[in-house]
Chains A and B, each alone.
Chain A
Amino acid sequence: MWRTGYILNRTADAVWFLALPYAAIAFALACNQWLPAVAVASVTLWVTIPHHFATWVRAYGLSDDRRRWLGRLTLGPILIFATSLIAASYAPITLILLSILWDKQHVLMQQHGFARIYDYKAQTGSKATAKFDLALNVILFGNLFLTSPFFTPLWLRELYRLHLPLSASAVQTIHAVSWLVTGTYLVIYLLHLLWIVHRGQRLNPVKYLFLASSYFLWYFTAWHAGSALVYAIAGQLMHGIQYLVIAYIYTRRRMQQAGDHGPLASLLTWRGGATVFLTAGAFYAVVYQLVIGQSLAEFGFGVVTLQEAYPAIPHLNIGGLTGATAYDLFATAVINSAAMTHYYLDSFIWKVSDAKTREGL
């Protein structure tokens, strides 16, 4: 009945795909308890923005894929940036709604994709399982979106803003129908699994543990209605970290298989490739934050802020540090740090007393 297969290997899957959702929930609850709301922005900067960077590396880093998808890789981003700029002027609510809904479709498709990899690796399920799995993910996530206390006010507000107001009783009807559809489909899915076993085919238990962990995270945090922080942080951690892991492993493996010796491949395929990949992602996040004009203090989970270090002194008529002056102070610190690093390195790299140094002179 069972045949086990892993995306990476037994230990790595246990860490990144099975335990990570629970660790993400624990981290999110801790953030909610002890950190200010800026913790969400910090997780976005440390995880979500670097995971975008991982997409660029994955999509544009492999020469074979660049040739295969040339049109989509060039015209797609141009079209998306152009339409977003136009929509920001003429249909901003649609732009927000599109971004929210596409994000949800994207995260559920990532979990669906991992589920497909599990069946592929273990050679489990039937030909129809892909469609049954897709429907399972769409219905479970759709139900979460339609019925949870976290998402309901969100889509309801946008409907009101689009002049499509719904009464509370109409929303309750939507909730009831959604739960009915979900319950019915879960029975159908169970029958599909029984049918597979009846035909002598196998099931991969790790796939179902993975799906259960993922949906536990989403359902638990979306009903943890007291705080939007918990859903946002836990969801971003699971989605972003799992994506970073698969993007790095896949890109490196493809580069090794293709015998790629380009500059990117040489950085990613050596022993310290993972560190380079993560450091480049963090650097990308810093540049991104500077381009959109936001504070680099958001990296610090609200714990380290220059503004707070220099509060106002009312009896001397001195105001607190503004965002702009705090940035000036930060820039001064960066310039000084670079200079002091130069002083420190020069203190030992030019010693004529060093034999190796003398060889180069």
Chain B
Amino acid sequence: MTAETPEVRSPRSNAWGALRAFRFLLIVYGIAAVAAGWEFVHRDELVDLYLDPERSFADAVGELYPDNPGVHQLRTRQLMLCASLWRSRREMPPGCRQFGGKNILEEARRHFERGRQHGKHIEDLYYDYVQFLRGTGAPQAEIDQAYAEWREKFPLSKRPDPR
């Protein structure tokens, strides 16, 4: 083929050329498709991040970063679930059994207080705390103060009044 001869490209090479332009997107979506397939196959299996008897996310991350404000938030959720099971006299998973009765609430309060010292960006620590105080029969003034703190730190929150 001389330099003057125009290159004749087969339909297959044209298609490959078009695909090559999209190769980055194809790689990204190829990887994502595998993850999506995995997620879709397991879609009906519920994941308990807090009280899974085999492996709980809250326990794993709590072991890694015990003083992280996010971990305190996970622990408060975990303990509030334990408290709910304890109140309804249902069977407690292993993650809850280390705390007996009233200890659950004291432990939850401790995590709320420690988490709120440094986790001012974690809304759950403030919103759940109002609900926690209400649920444990705290004085109305204390509930109102916690509510005011939540509104002050998250003025644009769309969540309903937790009181």
Contact = CB atoms under 8 A, between A and B. Distances in A.
Contact of A91 (B39, B45, B61, B152): B39
25 contacts: A36-B120, A36-B152, A38-B155, A72-B21, A72-B22, A76-B22, A79-B25, A83-B29, A152-B64, A153-B64, A153-B70, A153-B71, A156-B60, A160-B47, A160-B49, A160-B60, A165-B60, A168-B61, A171-B64, A225-B65, A225-B68, A228-B70, A228-B122, A229-B121, A308-B155
Given A36-B152, A227-B121, A298-B156, A71 B47 contact: no
A168 B68 CA distance: 15
B118 A90 contact: no
A160 B57 CA distance: 7
Interface string A151-171: 011001100111101111001
B120 A305 contact: no
A37 B121 contact: yes
Contact of A157 (B42, B49, B55): B49
Query: Chain B's interface: helix, strand, loop or mixed, by majority?
Result: helix
Nearest to B153: A36
Interface in B48-62: 49, 52, 54-55, 57, 59-61
Interface residues of A, number: 49
A228 B121 contact: yes
Contacts of A295: 156
A161 B47 contact: yes
A168 B35 contact: no
B61 A153 contact: yes
B141 interface: no
Contacts of A226: 69, 118-119
A288 B2 CA distance: 55
Q: DSSP majority for the A interface?
A: helix
Contacts of B153: 36-37
Interface of A: 32, 36-38, 40-41, 71-72, 75-76, 79-80, 83, 87, 90-91, 93-94, 97-98, 102, 149, 152-153, 156-157, 160-163, 165-168, 171-172, 225-229, 295, 297-298, 302, 305, 307-308, 323
Given A97-B35, A302-B156, A163 B118 contact: no
B32 A149 contact: no
A72 B64 CA distance: 44
Given A79-B25, A305-B155, A166 B121 contact: no
B153 to A, nearest CB: 5
A38 B54 CA distance: 37
A90 B156 contact: no
A166 B35 contact: no
B121 A168 contact: no
A307 B152 CA distance: 11
B35 A98 contact: yes
